[in-house]
């Protein structure tokens, strides 16, 4: 039995279907339904935030499922390795939100991605200056107002090539606002916005967003 089998449940992290030792984490049905998404707007992404991708991300965020994160982390690492970054900065959550959840999933994601890719994880670069309401259900304009000037830079990263990492992006408002403050305060050479999952616009047809065999996971 592998070490992974000892650390994670022997069930599919998306649908809880039983798995036998040695099988892939994601069951064949969920693997077929997991939709790759290579990017959304200016952000680099790994999977579409719908169906299996949504289930995996929510289980990681709200249930602490490390097996769900392991499934999502692999395609994200493959996407960011060729980008030439040398460090990772997590989009920070406000302390009240961290208390509500009992954890900071984006920090956990950034730390796991750093370990997976060998990139340096840079803490305390950005601070969330005020709590914001959840972006879900807000219009594009409301999302932009909600996060405007909600970040403050805390240290410099001159000359560094930074991956700015969040969990989900829909309109890109949060990543955009964080990137603006990161560039202003930290003075990096470049900033690459990255999200584990993206919410694809309904007007974009599914085939245009798919890349590679969905069974690769």
Residues 97/134, Cβ–Cβ less than 8 Å: no
Residues 210/180, Cβ–Cβ less than 8 Å: no
**C-alpha dist (Å) from residue 5 to 18, 25, 34, 73:** 12, 9, 22, 17
- pLDDT of residue 143 exceeding 70, the answer is no
The helix/strand/coil state of 118 is coil
- pLDDT of residue 60 exceeding 90, the answer is yes
- Mean pLDDT is lowest, of 17-31, 157-171, 186-200, for 17-31
- pLDDT of residue 217 exceeding 60, the answer is no
Look over the chain and give the mean of its residue pLDDT values, rounded to a whole number.
83
* Domains of the chain listed by start with CATH number: 43-200 (3.40.50)
| pLDDT for position 76 | 97
Residue 212's contacts (CB-CB under 8 Å, 6 or more residues apart) are 36
- pLDDT of residue 208 exceeding 90, the answer is no
- pLDDT of residue 167 exceeding 80, the answer is yes
| pLDDT for position 2 | 43
């Amino acid at each position: 039995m592998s070490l992974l089998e000892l650390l994670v449940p022997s069930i599919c992290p998306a649908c809880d279907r039983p798995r036998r030792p040695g099988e892939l984490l994601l069951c064949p049905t969920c693997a077929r339904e997991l939709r790759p998404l290579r990017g959304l707007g200016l952000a680099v992404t790994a999977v579409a935030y719908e169906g299996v991708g949504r289930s995996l991300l929510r289980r990681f965020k709200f249930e602490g499922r490390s097996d769900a994160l392991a499934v999502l982390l692999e395609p994200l690492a493959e996407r960011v390795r060729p980008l030439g970054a040398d460090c990772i900065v997590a989009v920070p959550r406000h302390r009240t939100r961290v208390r509500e959840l009992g954890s900071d999933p984006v920090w956990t994601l950034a730390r796991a991605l750093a370990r997976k890719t060998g990139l340096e994880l840079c803490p305390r670069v950005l601070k969330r200056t005020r709590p914001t309401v959840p972006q879900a259900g807000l219009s594009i304009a409301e999302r932009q107002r909600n996060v405007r000037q909600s970040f403050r830079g805390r240290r410099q990263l001159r000359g560094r090539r930074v991956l700015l990492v969040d969990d989900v992006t829909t309109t890109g408002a949060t990543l955009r606002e964080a990137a603006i403050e990161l560039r202003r305060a930290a003075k990096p050479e470049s900033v690459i916005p990255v999200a584990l999952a993206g919410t694809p616009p309904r007007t974009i047809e599914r085939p245009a967003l798919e890349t590679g065999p969905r069974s690769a996971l």
